[in-house]
Amino acid sequence: MAGEGPEDDLRKFDSLVRLHRPRVLRFLMASLRNRETAENLTQDCFVRAYQARGQFRGASSVGTWFMQIAANLLRDHESNSRLKFWRRTLRSDTDLAELGHAIPDGQQSPETLALIRERVEAVWMVAARLPARQRTVFLLRFVEDMDLLEIAEVTGMKEGTVKAHLFRALQSVRARLEGTK
């Protein structure tokens, strides 16, 4: 960034944050099912990225780099044993309907929309009970629509490991959903 001042640097970074923040927040919301914690970790993600911006070498896209930071923050957050009690408590009052933004347009009957919402909530509830790595891979694939190589880059896993976690996650989700019918 030769010839550019700190204001230009900040302006460019701010535009990247505006572009990528929704994706990072959506991933963290889906992973944590707690808006306040997801927003805090999203903010932490971009603070860390700004502090480490000089270390970014372009080996991946900026969006993938942000998602790597978010995944690392999520892993750190979930491994912090001091917060286990609070995470269990907070998860119990999560508004799952808030996460169900994948509802089709209003061309369907209210009954059909209610059934779709119920199914989406059931998937969220089952996904929330997956082991951490399976849940992360599942959410990156189906919430963020990332391909396997992107997921491998974000999580630091090999592509084969990502495939295995995704396969197991899908098996678990299907089995649990079929068991609730």
Predicted pLDDT at 9: 81
- CATH C-level class of 104-181: mainly alpha
The ranges assigned to domains in the chain are: 1-94, 104-181
Q: Tell me what pLDDT residue 106 has.
A: 47
Is the CATH code 1.10.1740.10 the one for domain 1-94? yes
Each residue's pLDDT, cut to its tens digit, for the chain (181 residues) gives: 344 677 888 889 999 999 999 999 999 998 888 899 999 999 999 999 999 988 888 888 999 999 999 999 998 887 764 445 444 444 544 444 444 444 444 466 778 777 778 888 888 888 889 999 999 999 899 888 888 999 999 999 999 999 999 999 999 998 988 886 5
Q: In whole angstroms, how far apart are CA 35 and each of 47, 65, 94, 154, 158? A: 18, 22, 8, 22, 30
* pLDDT value of residue 107: 62
Quick one: which of 52, 128, 154 has its CA closest to 162? 154
d(CA 114, CA 88): 27
Distance CA 165, CA 148 (A): 11
Closest-CA residue to 161 (of 136, 144, 124, 181): 136
How far is it, in rounded angstroms, from Cα 86 to Cα 102?
Answer: 28
